[in-house]
Amino acid sequence: MNALRETAAFLVGAQVRRLGLLVWPDPKGLQETDVRLHLDVEFVGVGQNEFTCRTDPDGQTPDIDMERWPVGIPFSRFNQRQRIWATDQFWKSPSFTYELFETAEEQALGVGVGAFITSAYIVKFVDDVPTGLVFEFDNGVQIWSAPSGPTGNGIGRKADDFCWPAKIELEKLQ
């Protein structure tokens, strides 16, 4: 858990190069599938790196992994891709995987290229069990990454975008 805290805190001050949603194809949409937050950030004077925020296979614990993804699909094409996922032909394909939808150019999540991460938080239950992450940007927008029912991870802009089984609190990381 210390590695999670250290990595999330390390991202504070980084500048967004790319921001996206990694989506497991599901014709029912974002509410019914595993959605992960992908951050491609620049560390001023140090270089850039890419990170993906997800929920661990245990269904509760947040995780951040360093992983590179090629340039994704513009988020404006999400509905078009969703219609393709609804076809039998798509599911007969031997190699489907997560698809990356780029959101920063269109500011689909309210955060654009060049924004800075100003704060990071661990979402935890009152009993201190961590269950998600929140990143706040220099324009005040927050992006939440937390478990989303039986489907895996979800992305939202506020706590009410999730169904919490118990009271939560935020731990600000320094």
Q: Residue 105 pLDDT more than 90? A: yes
The pairing of beta strand 73-74 with beta strand 99-102: parallel
Give the pLDDT confidence of 120-148 residue by residue, as tens digits: 999 999 888 899 999 999 999 999 999 98
Task: Report, as an integer, the average pLDDT of 8-32.
Answer: 91
pLDDT at residue 20 in the model: 96
Task: Report, as an integer, the average pLDDT of 4-11.
Answer: 93
pLDDT at residue 1 in the model: 60
Q: Residue 151 pLDDT more than 80? A: no
Number of domains the chain is built from:
1
> Residue 152: which CATH number?
2.30.310
Task: Report, as an integer, the average pLDDT of 108-119.
Answer: 96
pLDDT at residue 49 in the model: 94
List Cα–Cα distances, 16 to 51, 93, 164, in angstroms.
11, 34, 29
Whole-model pTM?
Answer: 0.92
Q: How many CA atoms lie within 13 A of 75 on its CB side?
A: 18
Q: Could you tell me the residue range of the domain that residue 88 belongs to?
A: 2-172
CA angle at 51 for the pair 102 and 169, rounded to the nearest 5°:
100
pLDDT at residue 28 in the model: 81
Give the DSSP per-residue string, the chain: -HHHHHHHHHTTT-EEEEEEEEE---TT-GGGS-EEEEEEEEETTTEEEEEEEEE-TTSS-EEEEE------EEGGGHHHHHHHHTSHHHHHSS----EEEE-TTTTTTS--TT-BEEEEEEEEETTS-EEEEEEEETTS-EEEEEE-GGG-EEEESSGGGS--SS-EEEEE--
pLDDT at residue 58 in the model: 81
pLDDT at residue 74 in the model: 96
Tell me if 119 sits within 8 A of 104, measured CB to CB.
no
Q: Residue 45 pLDDT more than 90? A: no
Give the pLDDT confidence of 69-101 residue by residue, as tens digits: 999 999 999 999 999 998 888 888 777 789 999
Tell me if 131 sits within 8 A of 124, measured CB to CB.
yes
